[in-house]
Amino acid sequence: MSSRFIGERLARVDAPDRVTGRAVYAADISLSGMLHGRVLRSPHAHAYIKKIDATRALALEGVKAVVTAADFPALKKGGVIARGEVELNLDHIRQVALAHGKVLYHGHAVAAVAATDPHIAEDALELIEVEYEPLLAVLDPEEAMKEDAPLVHPEQRTRTRDGTLDRPSNIAATYNVSRGDVEEGFQVADVVVEHTFRTRTVHQGYLEPMAAVARADPGGRITVWASTQGNFSLRSQLASVLELNSSQVKVVPVEIGGGFGGKLNSVLELPAVLLARRTGRPVKLVMSREEVLRATYPAPATAITVKAGATADGRLTAVKMRAVFDAGAFPIAPVVAAYLTSLAPYKIPHICLEGYEVVTNHPKIGALRAPGAPQGAFAVEGQMDLLAEKLDIDSLELRRRNATQEGEPMPVGRAFNRIGLQPLLERVAAHPSWTTPLKGPHRGRGLAVAFWPGAVMPSSCNLTLQDDGSFSLVVGSVDLTGTRTTMLQVAAQELGVHPSKISVSVGDTDSVGHTEVSGGSRITYTMSNAVNQACTRMLGLLRERAAAELEVDPQELEYDTGIFSSRVSQDKRLTLTDLGRQSLRRGGPVTATGAVARMQPAPAFSAHVVDVEVDMETGQVKLLNYTAFQDVGRAVNPTQVEGQIQGGAVQGIGWALMEGYQFSESGVLQNANLLDYKTPTATDVPFIDTVILEIPASDGPYGIRGVGETPIIPPLPALANAIHNATGVRIRELPMNPEALFHAMQGRGG
Amino acid sequence: MKPFEYVAAGSLAEAVSHLDSAGPAARPLAGGTDLLPQMRYFRAHPPLVVDVKRIPELRQLSCVGEGLHIGAAVPLADIAAHPDVTRLYPAIAYSCSLVGSVQIRSRATLGGNLCNAAPSADTVPGLICLGAHAVVTGPAGRREIPVEEFNTDPGKTVLGTGELLVEVVVPPPPDRSAVSYLRFTPRQEMDIAVTGVASLLKFSEGGMVYQARIVMAAVGPTHLRARRAEGVLEGQRPTAELVSRAAEEAAGECQPISDVRASADYRRHLVGVLAGRTLLKSAEAQGIRV
């Protein structure tokens, strides 16, 4: 079948509702008798909770309930939900929802109150009396690693490659991964560089603050409307913690206003459910922006030391990475991902990682678009530029000489399947963004390369032929980025009908098979496989129906654009409308499911080129030109692909130049608002030009690769490299804001 | 947000009477872009909010012989777009266009920017350069206060209980003079000045600096005049060397603090940079190339 809808720039099906304000988000849900909740948060970064007395709050008119961690079912230790690449630790989910005996960061939830209106709930917070016994806060990961450091979790033991150590420590885990022998590699190197790169905690910056509405039926069934990236994952989290069957929890889809990895884990839903159970009434909880910044799941601060060696002719011989990740209050940080992704672009004989995942009294970290990769690339791509400078080799040429290809081993795991890095770099080399000379004072150009492996997780969909011959496609995935539209294109392509004959919606957790989170750049890649499967099954079923109706052999029928017709006798034909009508009389309605669990990964590479101009007196960086190259396998909807690449680049630009948590010495976030936690606006970035390469992935339909995460990675090192090119100063600490750059230029740092 | 009483006053007398009887915690409401966030996030709990947007005197925006009258409740967007303001007071129009976003400027007022008494307020330095005064009415009658003396500390003004800002009056710009304002923000829009500097330069017929005013924002408890720097310039022929000496002097006169937005050292450095740039800009506007 010709490619009619794959590659078309279809307008997003959700766009009219979103831009006119009709789209319904979790905070828009209003139910009869609904109560409004607020969360009481810790004023300390680290303290024992000695006592919580809600008597006065409960006496306030309009207050219906106050809940604390004591309202959870008794905890069974060690509960973990395994989700392919991600493990969800139930204990941590519960403790983030409501602190258990100890507060672990400033803003940690301590209690939640439900009242007849949000202002009463707010007033009630002041009447909940909590007695704390403050403890020394553990804030600096390097300090936290020392043997005599105060402990965030006195019972925590370090997980290592060789088992668990028997001494308590803030180091949750160490990672020792290697290939070859780096010392040998450094011996044969002509140039060796070694520096430490530091990044701060940053937030995903999704526009829609977290929100949840919960209803608890007397029979024990729970219904939740939530701002989440995964309805099924949320269901699993709630069912596990509350000790219910999965089928007793229903998560109803609502639109989501951005997630970027920050809405994978439950935060507000558990307190909302506890309050709903206690009161017998629906309860809504909505975070303020301040709460979002203080008490959700930001991305980790890191200190990454990269020692890299190369021969005089520009062949990398060895890279050693030492990485310390500030995981915040609970373990799990993307340490290995930083190593894997940042070294993946290059053929390096000897590599090793010494990684540390350290808990501190900061909010628990979560995923942010390509978790770990931007921090790793900031270090490795910075060192690549320095090597190029020391070897007097063009920075693109150095990357071309070392670029990896199909069949080469990845830093961790198996060999690469089909990838497009080398053609991508050839494209950069020939492109005006790289070849046009940069004129003018204090201007510089920077380049960086990035990799993201892409995730594969279960996906399900249901396809139904309606009575009039139109189709309804229900997918299980939350639509973060326009995936309803791309799945519409896939279904139209496979069913051979116009997109106007198909409606696509996100199903609730009762109505479609388990579908994992929208994350890992994987929905278009994996769900298109499920939709493809459902369409094939649907056409198979319809062929049988048509054959029975027409009393011909199914093989005699051919199908084209909605019509089954006999190759033998021309008058024997049936349209989808005929089949839809007849299905109600004979055979019954026709439905088909698609379900996918495993596929090969579809790795994606990108390269960004940026030109900057630096105000030497103030340190302000102005972006002049920005071009993002990416191998996307196949662009199902080029407009959406471009949007993803542009959005990722802007997010990375913000991380590079502006964003960063500023904690006080007692662990209190000082910039918990969007004025002082700065993200770029449209006026801070130039038009992000995109260059799309389509080198088909090894697996899956159409050659699709994941797109969404890779583009956030290169801006950090590309901008650092451009600033160095403009000023001669290498910045190895983010954000590279005007004051930081000014001080660095004063000291001629680097 | 705590419960509060709301009243929309139709006249100056009505507003003053409400504010006076409710006591010092009562707050007038114009655009609300500062007041409402303060109330929402629990820093302010006024028992009474008096909406002043319906008072005719506060809605006037006119440019007559004796100067520009800006009613206290006129939105910044209207000021920035007013043809007389853009023609005769381009620095005022420009500062009004810097505040917040399009949406904010359609609500926020110059009167509110002044009364909020933030040392970072963008509209105030230009007003001080031009010698503007505030017209205030209250239980004891009407009085006029130079804008330069209106704010006394962060968040504090000279207004007494029951007093209300009616308008800001900006005198006609002196002949052969120009005003310019520059601010520094890490982000191009939707940001607050880390440092701002406005300058007025009035030249003699012979091209000497007859009068200089330099006003600094966000580097002290209120907006500050750089009087020593002004002294460096006045009576002198403007040269690049003179301008940088004045800029250096201004940097020495500011009183910055370190906070989440910038260090004191960096702010002081920026005063020097911005003072130099704004002086050059003001001179250039009078056709004088330094």
**Positions of E strands within A181-241:** 191-199, 211-216, 222-226
Tell me, yes or no, if A683 comes closer than 8 A to chain B by beta carbon. Answer: yes
Please list every residue in chain B whose beta carbon sits closer than 8 Å to the beta carbon of residue A737: 186
B257 and B166 both lie in a single domain: no
Determine the residue of chain A that is closest to B276 in CA distance: A617
DSSP string, B41-53: TTS---SEEEE-T
Task: Provide, as residue numbers in chain A, all residues whose Cβ is less than 8 Å from the Cβ of B191.
Answer: 675, 678
Do B49 and B91 form a contact (C-beta atoms < 8 A)?
no
Residue B74 lies in a domain: yes
Q: Are A672 and A390 in contact (CB under 8 A)?
A: no
Residues B100 and B205 in one domain: no
CA distance A32 to chain B (A): 24
Q: What is the rounded distance in angstroms from the CA atom of residue A569 to the CA atom of residue A546?
A: 14
- One domain for residues B64 and B164: yes
Q: Which two tokens stand for residue B40?
A: 């929402």
Q: Is residue B36 part of a domain?
A: yes
**Domain shared by B112 and B63, yes or no:** yes
Taking the C-alpha atoms of residue A512 and residue A509, their distance in angstroms, rounded to an integer, is 6
CA dist B102 and A49 (Å) reads 46
Final residue before a domain boundary, out of B170, B187, B221: B170
Residue A115, classed as helix, strand or coil, is strand
Considering the domain architecture, whether residues B120 and B164 belong to the same structural domain is answered as yes
Range of the domain at B43: 5-51
Is A43 an 8 Å CB contact of chain B? no
Q: Are residues B100 and B156 in the same domain?
A: yes
ipTM field: 0.95
The count of domains in chain B is 3
Tell me the two tokens of residue A24. Answer: 């319904």
Q: Is B240 a member of any domain? A: yes
| Residue A347 near chain B (CB below 8 Å) | no
Q: How many Å apart are CA B265 and CA B274, to the nearest integer?
A: 14
- Smallest CA–CA distance from B267 into chain A, residue: A739
> Following CA atoms B37, B41, B47, B48 in sequence, which dihedral angle do they give, to the nearest 10 degrees?
10
CB contact under 8 A, A119 and B269: no
CA distance B185 to chain A (A): 9
Please say which residue of B170, B198, B217 terminates a domain.
B170
Which chain A residue is nearest to residue B270, measuring alpha carbons? A618
Q: Is A628 exposed, middle or buried (0-12, 13-18, 19+ CB in 10 A)?
A: buried
Point out the residue among A617, A684, A742 whose CB comes nearest to the CB of B187: A684
The verdict on B269 touching A (C-beta cutoff 8 Å) is: yes
- The token pair that represents A724 in the structure block: 């160095």
Comparing C-alpha atoms, which of A464, A480, A400, A1 is closest to residue A206? A480
Is B43 at the interface with chain A, CB within 8 A?
Answer: no
pLDDT at residue A78 in the model: 60
Kindly report the backbone phi and psi dihedral angles of residue A226, in degrees, each rounded to the nearest multiple of 5, phi listed first.
-150, 155
Rg (C-alpha) for chain B, rounded Å, is 19
Structural domains in chain A, sorted by start? 415-448+602-747 (3.30.365.10), 457-596 (3.30.365.10)
> Residue B2 and residue A738: Cβ atoms within 8 Å?
no
Determine the Cα–Cα distance for residues B112 and B150; give it in Å rounded to an integer: 12
The span from the CA of B214 to the CA of B276, in Å, is 10
Tell whether B281 and B261 lie within a shared domain.
Answer: yes
| Residue A274, C-beta contacts closer than 8 angstroms, at least 6 positions apart | A67, A71, A72, A98, A112
**Tens digit of pLDDT at every position of chain B (290 positions):** 888 999 999 999 999 999 999 999 999 999 999 999 999 887 789 999 999 999 999 999 999 878 999 999 999 999 999 999 999 999 999 999 999 999 999 999 999 999 999 999 999 999 999 999 999 999 999 999 999 999 999 999 999 999 999 999 999 999 999 999 999 999 999 999 999 999 999 999 999 999 999 999 999 999 999 999 999 999 999 999 999 999 999 999 999 999 999 999 999 999 999 999 999 999 999 999 88
> Would the CB atoms of A670 and B260 count as touching at under 8 Å?
yes
* Parts of chain A with a pLDDT under 50: 1, 85, 749-750
Strand pairing report for B48-51 and B5-8: parallel
Give yes or no: residues B164 and B218 share one domain: no
Of the candidates A439, A26, A434, the one whose C-alpha atom is nearest the C-alpha of residue A224 is A26
Tell me the CATH number at B109. Answer: 3.30.465.10
The dihedral of CA A558, A564, A566, A571: what is its sign?
Answer: negative
Q: Does the residue B188 lie in any domain?
A: yes
Whichever domain contains B209, its CATH number is: 3.30.390.50
| Whether B189 and B231 share a structural domain | yes
Closest-CA residue of A relative to B264 is A739
**CATH number where B14 lies:** 3.30.43.10
Residue of A nearest to B261 (CA): A676
In this complex, do B260 and A683 lie within 8 Å of one another by their Cβ atoms?
Answer: no
- Interface check A618 vs B, CB under 8 A: yes
Task: Please state the separation of Cα A635 from the chain's center in Å.
Answer: 20
Give chain B positions within 8 Å (CB) of A745. none
Q: Specify whether B166 is located in the same domain as B181.
A: no
Q: How far apart (Å, rounded) are the C-alpha atoms in residues A300 and A357? A: 10
CB contact under 8 A, B262 and A739: yes
pLDDT for res A750 = 40
Asked if residue B255 is part of any domain, the answer here is yes
The verdict on B144 and B235 lying in the same domain is no
Note whether A743 contacts B: Cβ–Cβ < 8 A.
yes
Helices (H), chain B: 12-22, 35-40, 76-81, 83-88, 90-98, 102-107, 110-115, 124-129, 227-233, 240-253, 264-285
- Establish if B218 touches chain A: CB-CB under 8 angstroms: no
Min Cα–Cα distance to chain A from B111, Å: 22
Q: Given this model, what pLDDT does residue A680 score?
A: 97
**Could you give the count of Cα atoms lying within 13 Å of A136 in the half-sphere of its Cβ?**
8
The verdict on B161 and B143 lying in the same domain is yes
- Pick the last residue of a domain from B170, B187, B204: B170
| Residue B274 in domain | yes
Residue B290: inside a domain: no
A143: part of which helix (H) or strand (E)? helix A141-144
Q: Do A678 and B263 touch (CB under 8 A)?
A: no
**Position B126 in a domain:** yes
CA distance to partner chain A, nearest, from residue B36 (Å): 15
3-state secondary structure at position A567: coil
